[in-house]
């Protein structure tokens, strides 16, 4: 039995994680937290998620004695603090936080020398299959196509482009021997001039309750290839996170991605 703590348990993603954990026999939800001052502090995590009571009350701080793996889909600043805590307490982590900067990514690499961390901006099985398809497409098509990445999310998402879109860009850039920092174009306006074929364009949509849509276009002369993934439920990510908890529980240390979990 793997004991897990869910950070941000009162939020939309946190509630789905609570539901997913309740459905898995190998996972035992033993702690749920949210930010201090949240009106749901003290409420049962299961009831908040809309399922039967889990006998786990939402608290405003972690207790290392109660969990083996922390699932964190919060905010980069909060995640950074949680990494420090788990490193100190020797606890494993499954991180799905998006919008991480280079400083946080560096911290993850350093912490992974001591503890096991699975970090992925998107834990959907389908998205991670798409990443492998994008790698193949980029290698085959090379510099003969223009590459554009279009992503759409709900109106409340605070970071752009999405972590998934950036991961797609990184996979493509690495496959082509490029540095995404040098070739990424984030939106266009005005007289931009002719397109540089070696750039990778990003377009962002924020509207309504879109869970997450991603399309990568490889456009050449006379034909184009589009690889698209659409999410209709956050349970897709939650189920992936639970699968990652089962996998990371067997590791002592190291930084892993969802493709490691899936074996692709």
Instruction: Look up 153 and say whether it is catalytic.
Output: yes
- Of the candidates 23, 22, 42, the residue with the CA atom closest to the CA atom of residue 33: 42
pLDDT, residue 264, reads 81
Contact present, 246 and 232 (Cβ < 8 Å)? no
Options 153, 167, 214, 229, the catalytic residue: 153
Confidence at residue 106, expressed as pLDDT on a 0 to 100 scale: 96
Instruction: Report the distance separating Cα 217 and Cα 28, nearest Å.
Output: 41
* Average pLDDT of every residue of the chain: 95
Q: Return the pLDDT at 98.
A: 86
At 167, give phi and psi (nearest 5°): -65, -40
- What is the model's pLDDT at position 52? 96
Residue by residue, DSSP assigns 13-44 as: HHHHHHHHHHT-TTEEEEEEE--TT-TTTTSB
The tens digit of pLDDT for each residue in 90-118 reads 999 999 998 888 899 999 999 999 999 99
Residue listed under structure tokens 């007289």:
191
* Catalytic one of 28, 107, 157, 251: 157
In CATH, the architecture of 125-231 is: 2-Layer Sandwich (3.30)
Per the annotation, the verdict on 157 as an active-site residue is yes
Architecture of the 2-119+234-262 domain: 3-Layer(aba) Sandwich (3.40)
Positions of the chain with pLDDT lower than 50, given as ranges: none
Q: Where are the domains of the chain?
A: 2-119+234-262, 125-231
* Sign of the C-alpha dihedral computed for residues 1, 9, 116 and 161 taken in this order: positive
How distant is the alpha carbon of residue 194 from its chain centre? 34
Q: How many CB atoms lie within 10 A of CB 16?
A: 22
In sequence order, which residues have a C-beta less than 8 Å from that of residue 223 and are 6 or more positions away? none
């Amino acid at each position: 039995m793997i004991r897990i703590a869910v950070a941000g348990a009162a939020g939309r993603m946190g509630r789905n994680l609570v539901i997913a954990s309740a459905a898995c026999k190998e996972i035992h939800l033993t702690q749920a937290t949210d930010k201090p001052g949240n009106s749901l502090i003290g409420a049962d995590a299961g009831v908040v998620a809309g399922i039967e009571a889990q006998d786990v009350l939402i608290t405003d701080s972690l207790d290392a004695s109660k969990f083996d793996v922390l699932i964190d889909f919060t905010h980069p600043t909060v995640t950074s603090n949680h990494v420090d805590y788990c490193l100190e307490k020797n606890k494993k982590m499954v991180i799905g936080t998006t919008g991480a900067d280079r400083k946080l990514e560096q911290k993850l690499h350093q912490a992974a020398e001591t503890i096991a961390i699975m970090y992925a901006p998107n834990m959907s099985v389908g998205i991670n299959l798409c990443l492998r398809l994008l790698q193949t497409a980029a290698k085959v098509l090379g510099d003969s196509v223009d590459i554009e990445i279009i992503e759409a999310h709900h109106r409340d998402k605070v970071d752009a482009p999405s972590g998934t879109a950036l991961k797609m860009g990184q996979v493509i850039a690495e496959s082509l021997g490029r540095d995404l920092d040098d070739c990424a174009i984030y939106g266009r306006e005005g007289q931009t001039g002719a397109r540089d074929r070696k750039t990778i364009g990003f377009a962002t949509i924020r509207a309504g309750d879109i869970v997450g849509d991603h399309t990568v276009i490889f456009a050449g002369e006379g034909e184009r290839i589009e690889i698209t993934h659409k999410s209709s439920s956050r349970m897709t990510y939650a189920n992936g996170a639970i699968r990652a908890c089962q996998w990371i529980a067997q590791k002592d240390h190291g930084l892993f991605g969802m493709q490691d979990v899936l074996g692709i």
